[in-house]
Structures are given as structure tokens and as C-alpha cells.
Amino acid sequence: MLPELSSNFTTMMPDFTTRPPAGDCQSQLGDHLEYLKLPAILTSVVIVVLGLLGNAVALWIFCFRLKTWNPNNLFLFNLVIADFLVLVSVPLNIDALIRGHWMFGDGLCHINLFLMFANRSASIGLMTVVAIYRYFKVVHPHHWFNRMNKKQAGFVAAFLWLLMIGPWVPMLVYNHIQNSGNNTQCRFFTSYSESSRAIIILVGMHRILSVLEFFIPLAMLLFCSARISCILRRRQMDKSQKVRRAMRVCAVIVGVFVVCFLPGTLTTIGLWIIRSYRSWDCDLFNTFTKLTIVSLGLNFLNSALDPVIYCFSSSMFRKALCSLLPAALRCGQEVSDGEAAASSSGTQSMMQQEP
């Protein structure tokens, strides 16, 4: 069993990280993680403050400032909801880090772990849909996907929620509380070593899912970005302000996606390889465990960075945000509808609904 500090840091990590490959590694890992405690607390506090502030403003704009809604804004609104769900759970983990134990009971432990994992999946899915929506607007302007109304977009968003968070629902059923004397910890599938074959299979599925749900959307995001850039340059429309904005949307989404989710995915894969082929190498295991803990913290960072995506992805959101700023700080003048009408017919057909 890992030392107390190690247990706190590995709240959201599967069993393959909380159970080192060799007994000698267990005694070393807790000391190696001690110096990460203060940076982890400070980073979490900064992310929560920035994330709640940015998403609170975004939620207020979506609810009270947008005059019209389109599918793109509906997808972004769902992304705001996903961010809020995880941000309200982060303070519980900060408290557990400070106290050295979990004091909120079994029910909140289930909800806490579910929100952390489900938010990662939902955020990935929603960012991917926003990029795909932009792709169809530019590359296939006459596709039926571009004629989707708000009701149909609502069904797409609901299906996406079910698809992305459905596999994590079993986390609400199984035990995650671990008691060691007077010390209580909330950890992912703590009863793994004594569990049934069904739970072992479930943990394995979650491991595979956490990797696939990164690489498959990443491939789709890169494809959408490359195709948008290629098509616009081929049609010699990459000089238009609105067209450049479409290219920036996908670039920003890919940037946030890679920064927040790539490190954790790579270190997770590294730990699998170490357990399988270098189980005797405690130094390597401890190094990758520390990297995994740090990189998993970046999963929360996406909730603080997502407001940047809202600004780049929706001209209506951007205009509403600019209207809240003092006159001296307001954004540059947006391209007017009259200017858009004067642009080329090809650009107009692609960008007329959402710049």
C-alpha cells in the first residue's frame, strides 16, 4: 500500500498507477511525491479560480446576452456545462490534499471520480464536434449537416453525452473508499485486487477507453484542420478575415486538446509498458508516476482554457463579450453583415451562418 501522500495524489488514477510493479518501489514512491504536494495545491487553486471565473462569464453570456442560437453555440454551451461539473469537484480534491485524507463520505467520492473522468470524455467529444461542424461549413457547405436546426443539434449533444460518459457510469456503483486505520482515501476502484473478474475487465476497458478517446478525436481534429487549410488555400480564400477565423478555430481547439490531454495519455501508456516489460525498474516507474500525476492535472486545465475556444468559435459570443468591456478595451470592429454580403459567393456560402 502506498504512503498517505501517494494515495491523495492518485485519487483519479487507475489501479495500475496506485499499485507499483514491485514491493520495493512502494516504499520509495511516497517520498518522491512529497515535494509535489504544494505545487499541486497551488496549481489546482489557480485552475479553479480562472476556470470558474471564465466559465461563469461564458454561462452568463450564453444565457442572457445571445439573441439567437445556432448548433455551434449549443455545442459550446454544453462544453460550458461540462467544465462547470468538473470544476465544482476540484475543491474536494484540494481539501483532500491539504488534510491528507478524504472526509466527504462514500457518496461524494463516487460523484467526484465520475465527474473527473466523465468531464474529460465529454470535453473531448464536444471539442471534436465543434471542429467537425466548422469542417462541414467550410469543406462541404451544402451538406445536410449544415442545415441542422437547434432541435437536431440538441439530439446530437444528448447522444454525445450518453456516448462519452456512459462507460463511466459503473464508477457510481463500485467501491472507491479505502480505509487504513483512521485514514480514509477516495481512489479509483480501490477494491481491484480483491474484486471479481467483471471489475478487472471493467478497469481494463477504462484503460483502453482513456487512450482511444484521445487518439481517435485527435486524428479527426488534425484531419479537419488540414482539410480546411487545404481547401481554402486551393480556392485562394485564405486572405479573407472570416476564412482565417475558421482556420484559427480548429488550430485553437487542436492546441488546447494537445496541451491538456496528450501528456496524460502518453505517460499512461508509458506506465503500462513499464509494468509489462520493466517491472523491476523502480526509478523509471517512479519517474513516470510523477509525470503522470503532473500531466493528469492538465486535464483540469482544459476547463480554464475552454473560454478561449468560445471566443474563437462564435462571433456572437465574441461580440457579446466585447460589449461587456469598457470602451477603451473593446475588441476590434467585427466584420459587418454588409461586408460579408460583399464577399465572394464561395466564401459567403461557406461562412454565412457562423463565421
Strand partners, 2: none
User: Could you tell me the domains of the chain?
Assistant: 4-319 (1.20.1070.10)
28-32-37 Cα angle (round to 5) = 135
Closest CA to 66 of 160, 150, 155, 161: 150
CB 264 within 8 A of CB 156: no
CB 69 within 8 A of CB 150: yes
Q: Classify the C-alpha dihedral 225-226-229-230 as positive or negative.
A: negative
Per-residue pLDDT tens digits of the chain, which is 355 residues long: 333 344 444 444 444 334 444 445 555 555 556 667 777 788 888 888 988 998 998 898 888 888 788 898 899 999 999 888 888 888 888 888 788 788 888 888 888 888 888 888 888 999 899 889 888 888 888 888 888 888 999 999 999 999 888 888 877 877 777 776 677 878 765 544 545 666 667 777 777 888 888 999 999 999 988 888 888 777 666 556 656 666 777 788 888 889 988 988 888 888 778 877 877 777 787 788 778 777 777 878 888 888 888 887 777 888 888 877 776 666 554 444 333 333 333 434 433 444 4
Tell me the three cell numbers of residue 123.
Answer: 470535453
Q: Is 185 helix (H, G, I), strand (E, B) or coil?
A: strand
How many residues are there in the chain? Answer: 355
Q: What is the pTM of this model?
A: 0.78
The span from the CA of 282 to the CA of 123, in Å, is 34
